[in-house]
Amino acid sequence: MRADRLVAVLLLMQARGRVTAAEVAAELEVSVATARRDLDALSAAGIPVYPQAGRGGGWSLLGGARTDLTGLTAPEARALFLLLGPAAAAAPEARSALRKLTRALPEVFRAEAAAAADSVVVDPTGWGGRDDDRPPVVELLQTAVVARRRVRLRYAGRAREPGERLVDPWGLVDKDGTWYLVAGTDAGQRTFRIDRVVDAEVTDLVAHRPDGFALARAWERVVEEMEARRGRFTATVVIETRFVPVLRTHFGRHCDAGPPGPDGRSQVRVGAPTALDLARTLAGWGAAVEVLDPPEVRAELARIGRELAGRYA
């Protein structure tokens, strides 16, 4: 994982004082291009890592050959953990590397660094559909999470006019390109879709974060509840095996495909909150998808077909 490599690069520079991209590549068994990208990423994130051009040049930690990791300032430590935190959520090795790095920091920086590392979770499994554009407000909200400051949101719920809410931001989640804010409210923990945030303002009010709160565990519970609601109704369909990956992008986790049959088609189990939701998604496939069961989905598809034929015939 890249997070593990970035920590390894810092430790290598601490031990040697100055390194070249070729030396980093050889030590970590990666390409020279990858080593350069890692060094650039550390420098761009605000870590005191600087290149020196010319004969005998290379990359070094500001402060000399024996500068150790306790030489990081608070903003530098926060920048490093913001960079590594999302990757660490998905890899035990990266989490171990962050724990070791935390112990190497001065005591005064540890709480803020840990908050930065736990401010974002990356969940690669989508719910169907994808948006690769990172909303500009994400950086503002992440700053509020790390600084423990309450945020005043103007938020437009589904089919509702925007309303104002004062929340305690606990963490951000990138779920396959769709961003969410996990936050505390007067009604308890709530999850807000970032693309429905009309405006956000970080206040000077101190945010409350429950003792022992872990963003990854909290998000697991959110996903379990959402998946339970999204998969209440299932249907069995038959589709050409080559289209199964496309069907999976529509249904996310609620798409369980069987092995290919001799006719080049696969039987797939898909799920949605209602029979109508299933029919609406499957209708776009036309005759490319055959619904075997249940009758409710077949009936909804027939009704949609009649409506379309009546309007466009």
Q: What is the pLDDT of residue 285?
A: 92
Q: pLDDT digits over 77-101, tens only?
A: 556 666 555 555 555 555 555 566 6
> Partners of 173 in the beta sheet?
121, 180
Domain 123-213 fold is: SH3 type barrels. (2.30.30)
- Residues 147-169 have a mean pLDDT of 87
Q: What is the pLDDT of residue 67?
A: 38
Q: pLDDT digits over 95-148, tens only?
A: 555 566 665 555 545 565 556 555 555 555 555 555 556 678 888 898 888 888
Q: Which of 2-11, 13-22, 140-149 has the highest mean pLDDT?
A: 140-149
Q: pLDDT digits over 182-215, tens only?
A: 999 998 999 999 989 999 999 999 999 898 888 8
More confident residue, 167 or 230: 167
Percent share of the chain, pLDDT over 90: 33
Percent share of the chain, pLDDT over 70: 70
Only one residue has tokens 């075997």, namely 292
Q: Do the Cβ atoms of 86 and 174 come closer than 8 Å?
A: yes
Residue 47 identity (one-letter amino acid): I
- Residue 228 Ramachandran class (φ > 0 left, ψ -120 to 50 alpha, else beta): alpha
Using alpha carbons only, what angle is made at residue 266 by residues 263 and 267, rounded to the nearest 5 degrees? Answer: 125
CA-CA distance, 5 to 3, in Å (whole number)?
5
Residue 292 identity (one-letter amino acid): L
Q: pLDDT digits over 24-33, tens only?
A: 888 888 888 8
Q: Of 24, 97, 34, nearest to 59 (Cα)?
A: 24
Q: What is the pLDDT of residue 257?
A: 93
CA-CA distance, 178 to 130, in Å (whole number)?
7
CA-CA distance, 118 to 172, in Å (whole number)?
9
Q: pLDDT digits over 45-76, tens only?
A: 667 777 777 666 788 776 543 434 555 555 65
More confident residue, 16 or 291: 291
More confident residue, 217 or 90: 217
Domain 2-117 fold is: Arc Repressor Mutant, subunit A (1.10.10)
Q: Which CATH class is domain 231-312?
A: alpha beta
DSSP string, 186-243: TTEEEEEEGGGEEEEEEEEEEPP--TT--HHHHHHHHHHHHHHHHTSEEEEEEEEGGG
Q: Do the Cβ atoms of 178 and 184 come closer than 8 Å?
A: no
**Start and end residues for every CATH 3.30.70 domain found in the chain:** 231-312
- Supply 41's token pair: 């990423």
Q: What is the pLDDT of residue 43?
A: 76
Q: What is the pLDDT of residue 197?
A: 92
**Start and end residues for every CATH 1.10.10 domain found in the chain:** 2-117
- Residue 45, classified by CB atoms within 10 Å of its CB into exposed (0-12), middle (13-18) or buried (19+), is middle
- Supply 77's token pair: 């430590």
CA-CA distance, 222 to 61, in Å (whole number)?
41
**Start and end residues for every CATH 2.30.30 domain found in the chain:** 123-213
- Supply 17's token pair: 């004082």
Q: What pLDDT band is residue 289 in, cutting at 50, 70 and 90?
A: very high
- Residues 282-287 have a mean pLDDT of 92
Decide if pLDDT at 39 tops 90.
no
Q: What is the pLDDT of residue 84?
A: 57
Sorted by sequence, the CB contacts under 8 Å of residue 142 that are 6+ apart come out as 82, 119, 120, 172
